[in-house]
Amino acid sequence: MTTVGGKFTKEKRNLVTYIEHREYELLRKLAQQNGRSVSAEAASVLLQYLEDHQEDLKEPIP
């Protein structure tokens, strides 16, 4: 497992995600391509996923 961390600000929450090394390497390559830190890329990918699945997430959990 690899830890991807984040930073605290008044407006944003800290994001710490545990991922497998293989996924970390993919995330690292994405971050490098986009000129961002791995933490920023992880947050971006997570936000994109949440936006893409917003309707699914509105359904109640059984």
* pTM of the model as a whole: 0.66
Residue 35, CA distances (Å) to 1, 5, 38, 59 in order: 24, 17, 9, 35
More confidently predicted of 46 and 6: 46
Q: Which residues fall within 8 angstroms of residue 31, CB to CB, at 6 or more apart?
A: 37, 38, 40, 41
Per-residue confidence at 44, pLDDT binned at 50, 70, 90? Answer: confident
Domain ranges of the chain: 2-58
Note the pLDDT tens digit of each residue in 3-43: 666 565 666 666 777 888 899 999 999 999 999 988 888 88
Confidence (pLDDT) at 57: 78
